[in-house]
Structure 1
């Protein structure tokens, strides 16, 4: 079995295809956003953390297109103002609140501002998140502590504020953005995997508490679990791998944006997004050891062997950076260029000195 799942014995893409067949037979794909849905969220209030770029920005604009009041939270105020302009242009009503999700006080202030302006919160989306890439032992503990503050504590703070408000007003929907690594841990992303597993565990426990207290009729909690996505996340991650962060077959962010918007309207507890995430999610439950071996081999090849050389960076862990300001991150194009460069023939050797 070890030979079967080895890096070169079977191509990674074919392995993913096998996982996909298993997964798609067992799960439902998210609905595609309805292009005629303008006005569907009119008068409803949606809070989105990590709204300055990537999936958060895409979701904010889509909710705005559907008429929502959109509360935009992130550290980069200038980019939030840009997103607010897009939301307004598409028919939504934005509110910008500069927020560091790692600070409980900022989250409390965010919730209070949303209620003060719009009267209630119908949907709260905990989307903000970063990564630390590389061998676990190479990154400093301080970086892992900071990552936990953002990815896990930030979700705890946001979920706590949201659910308390939902109870006070009689209902609401909490959408937490996890990852396929919530279910399938990934080599060289150890602490990131741990934080995303924590998000999934939090949501599962919270759903049980809501059931036991007969609150599931009015309060919904959903975990979105995407595959790797082409957003600025890759530029914002701390990196100790020695290579540019990359992953096989990145998904388009619109796929995850659609899943978030549709889950907010039709909540489901756990939502693996797309065939790759669905396949990994189901196969890990059937054959965890094999799935983790395949995952590890893919990351070893894509990240540690194929990635171009890159210097150590803390990314935007400690302070925001202006790079990566749109929904898409351009990662697929960069990977294509890297792959083309790697295929070029080596330059001929010069004449040897006698």
Structure 2
């Protein structure tokens, strides 16, 4: 069987971070297209509710509660997927957390947690997926990076560092697969611009201001890109014109692009409403945020209307 699925009908697709944002939207889209979806996240109730929604619509879903920073739990996810569906065709490493603020203002424990989830958790997922794919001879690994994978961003230092590592890992894995002749195993990296999902609410925040970013994208364009990557993976896939422009600009004018991006982030921080420091959902999941859209654009609109901007 070729790695390049003609369509996802009947394929088994593992999705980490499935309880909200890109993961939730991707699970709904893929199940509607006939894929068997394995839903993984920390929130048991929300996962079960999503699985029930998918089943009610005629799809087939398995929910597995895990914390991706624990390698034994990621291994359990792979085993449960194979036990239920017999194989894994696509593994989507979608979990991502953030800590917002100037680097030195963020507690070191929060930086460590970002590394544990965004990088180590992704490595654990990639390791499980690739060992299975090599045994069966085919498969697609999709890693969710960010435009921060290419362009480092102020107030997101450790997050940007992990996303740069995600792209580097994906590129290296593709080269190693080429060297051993595994041409039917592909690794793709999705690189969105800032997107309006619950990620911003879930992030730890030490800026003193509500999280926001300029010209945020709708999550649907990223969901569509992830779905497309299941059958046509790209090693490096910026999503949307802003991500494409930022990616291209950084290749040509790296220092200028970094200054401009950081100046935009700084202005956005100081435009926002004042809020208290929070660890968000990086240690414990939040309740009531199992949505695709984060509601950040609506809040930004209200903030700017109040300030007459």
State the TM-score, normalized to the length of structure 2: 0.97
Q: Cα deviations across residues 272-291 of structure 1 (Å, max 9, x unaligned)?
A: 00000000111101110110
Secondary structure at 1:221 match in 2: strand
Task: Give the corresponding residue for 2:172.
Answer: 205
Task: Give the corresponding residue for 2:210.
Answer: 244
1:270 to 213, 216, 236: 236
| Alpha-carbon distance between aligned partners in 2 of 1:282 and 1:40, rounded to the nearest angstrom | 31
Q: Mark the runs of 5 or more structure 2 residues left unpaired by the alignment.
A: 1-5
Displacement of 1:85 after TM fit? 2.0
* 1:54-133 matched pairs, under 5 angstroms: 54-133=21-100
Q: Cα deviations across residues 106-151 of structure 1 (Å, max 9, x unaligned)?
A: 0000000000110000000000111000010001101111110001
1:63, 1:92 within 8 Å by CA — same for their partners in 2? Answer: no
* 1:22-37 matched pairs, under 5 angstroms: none
Task: Give the corresponding residue for 1:314.
Answer: 279
Displacement of 1:325 after TM fit? 1.2
| Alpha-carbon distance between aligned partners in 1 of 2:103 and 2:229, rounded to the nearest angstrom | 34
Secondary structure at 1:250 match in 2: coil
Displacement of 1:267 after TM fit? 1.2
Q: Mark the runs of 5 or more structure 1 residues left unpaired by the alignment.
A: 1-38, 345-354
State the aligned residue count.
Answer: 304
2:43, 2:65 within 8 Å by CA — same for their partners in 1? Answer: yes
Displacement of 1:204 after TM fit? 0.8
| Alpha-carbon distance between aligned partners in 2 of 1:262 and 1:94, rounded to the nearest angstrom | 20
| Alpha-carbon distance between aligned partners in 2 of 1:71 and 1:310, rounded to the nearest angstrom | 36
Is 2:200 the partner of 1:228?
no
Secondary structure at 2:40 match in 1: strand
Task: Give the corresponding residue for 1:30.
Answer: none
1:50, 1:74 within 8 Å by CA — same for their partners in 2? Answer: yes
Secondary structure at 2:63 match in 1: strand
Displacement of 1:293 after TM fit? 0.9
Displacement of 1:40 after TM fit? 4.1
| Alpha-carbon distance between aligned partners in 2 of 1:288 and 1:90, rounded to the nearest angstrom | 47
2:262 to 273, 278, 296: 296
| Alpha-carbon distance between aligned partners in 2 of 1:312 and 1:130, rounded to the nearest angstrom | 16
Displacement of 1:227 after TM fit? 0.4
Displacement of 1:302 after TM fit? 0.7
| RMSD between superposed Cα atoms in Å | 1.1
Is 2:95 the partner of 1:134?
no
Task: Give the corresponding residue for 1:47.
Answer: 14
Secondary structure at 1:224 match in 2: strand
1:61, 1:90 within 8 Å by CA — same for their partners in 2? Answer: no
| Alpha-carbon distance between aligned partners in 2 of 1:197 and 1:333, rounded to the nearest angstrom | 30
* 1:315-330 matched pairs, under 5 angstroms: 315-330=280-295
Distance 1:86 1:40, change over 3 A: farther
| Alpha-carbon distance between aligned partners in 2 of 1:187 and 1:135, rounded to the nearest angstrom | 7
Secondary structure at 1:71 match in 2: strand
| Alpha-carbon distance between aligned partners in 2 of 1:335 and 1:79, rounded to the nearest angstrom | 27
Task: Give the corresponding residue for 1:194.
Answer: 161
Task: Give the corresponding residue for 1:147.
Answer: 114
| Alpha-carbon distance between aligned partners in 2 of 1:92 and 1:283, rounded to the nearest angstrom | 42
| Alpha-carbon distance between aligned partners in 1 of 2:166 and 2:172, rounded to the nearest angstrom | 10
Task: Give the corresponding residue for 1:157.
Answer: 124
State the TM-score, normalized to the length of structure 1: 0.84
